[in-house]
Amino acid sequence: MKKYFAILVAVVALVATTAPAWAQAEAPGASFTVIGRLWTDFGYQYMSEELATNAFALDMKGRIRDSYTTNFVQLNANSYFGAKWTSGDKSTGAHAELYVASSTATARTESVGLRYAYGWWKAGNCKLVAGHTDGVFGSLFAAPGQLLGTNQSAKILLLRWGYLYSGRYPQVRFEYTSPVGLLSIALGQAGAEQVPGLQVLTMGGSAIGTSQAYFALPRADLAWAIRLGNFMAIPGFSISQMKYDGVSSGRDDTVVNWVVQVPLSWSAAGFGVKAQAYYGQNIDCEWGQVGTTAFFGSGVAMPQPQAIPVWDSNGKVEDSKQWGATLELSYTVGQWKPILGFGYVYTNNDNWKKAGYREDNFSRWTAFAAINYKINKYFTVQPEVAYFNYGDVMHQKYTDLNGKTQSSDYGTEWLFGVALLFVF
């Protein structure tokens, strides 16, 4: 009996001394995770003569540069290192990422920059997000899987080629989760706030002066995420208002930019579909869908016209309208996923033709094919070929330095190579 009593006392003592440790182990603790992705592209890029960087300059033999093909091997700028933190009770968290990129064909310097830096707090079905991040509106969930060319020619996921992405920007966002979906309302920093001294164009193509662009109100995003089995859609709406100081009396000094977007995805039995369409006005003032500067009134080939407002000779704003769409079809079998994708962008402004240009509209399109091969969950290889058609020129015919009349199109581009992605 004494033996059993001694054992009982020892057990009780052990329980008493370890109870605090048990309580500590069972209590939820904060989590901290380091994340990263290393993404390397290598391949070739073909540029037609219209896109050649010195297409309008003579070489040493007095000739104009022809089309060319160049190779590239680069650490893609979508490579990153980051960290995520979540409190023990899962009510609060934070996320930060820095991108890393190697030298490119046009910039011989490595770079590091901000991708994400935000925090969040949850209470019941409500969530508050604040910081530098992308939004529920304009997310990338339905973007096609085109991966080549971020550093080489600013190509990825068909952004600016039919897929509208809201971008990563400072914002405060409220989310409410219900049985029928997630509602998101965000107020953020409008992108055009970063464009002082913007040129305002008249109908005749001459600038009426420079002005300071600013916003009296933040950009507003509204989105509704709906998931029904293997189907998901996030219809949304975004709007901002641009003001100009320094515009002469009698001219419009306010521009409204807005866009409606409907992206969706669906999968079944290995087949996958991603599609998206958007429509809006002055989209390049805020969402940067073309990303090139618009010049008018010159006799040489121009960059593509932007979806920006144009002031007519009476000082009234003519808003540029734009719509775009993308479609991706895929089939997953084991570790292999063949992909086909297409993108299209159409822009128009009545003042373009009134100013004497051949057309009041402009379009461009792209297509790609790829095979995504997931060696394991940490390493993916994707061979890919992509074609980009920059569309027909909208200005009048011109004569190049060789005396040849040019008027057909802005040119074409091919990208073909392999993307290697390591994630952890």
- State pLDDT tens for residues 72-104: 899 988 999 999 999 999 999 999 999 998 866
| Residue 185's pLDDT band (cuts 50, 70, 90) | very high
pLDDT at 129: 98
Q: Assign residue 271 a region: left if phi > 0, alpha if psi is -120 to 50, beta otherwise?
A: beta
Between 70 and 400, where is the model more confident? 70
Q: CA–CA separation, 133 vs 165, rounded Å? A: 12
Name the average pLDDT for the chain.
Answer: 81
Choose the weakest-confidence range: 40-49, 105-114, 255-264, 337-346.
105-114
155-160's contacts with Cβ under 8 Å and 24+ in sequence apart are 155/386, 155/388, 155/415, 156/78, 158/326, 158/341, 158/343, 158/366, 158/368, 160/288, 160/289, 160/290, 160/291, 160/345
40, pLDDT greater than 50: yes
Does the pLDDT value for residue 143 go beyond 80? yes
Backbone angles phi, psi at 193, to 5 degrees: -60, -25
The predicted pLDDT at position 345 comes to: 94
The pTM score is 0.84
- Give the position of tokens 């704003």: 317
Closest CA to 79 of 99, 103, 104: 99
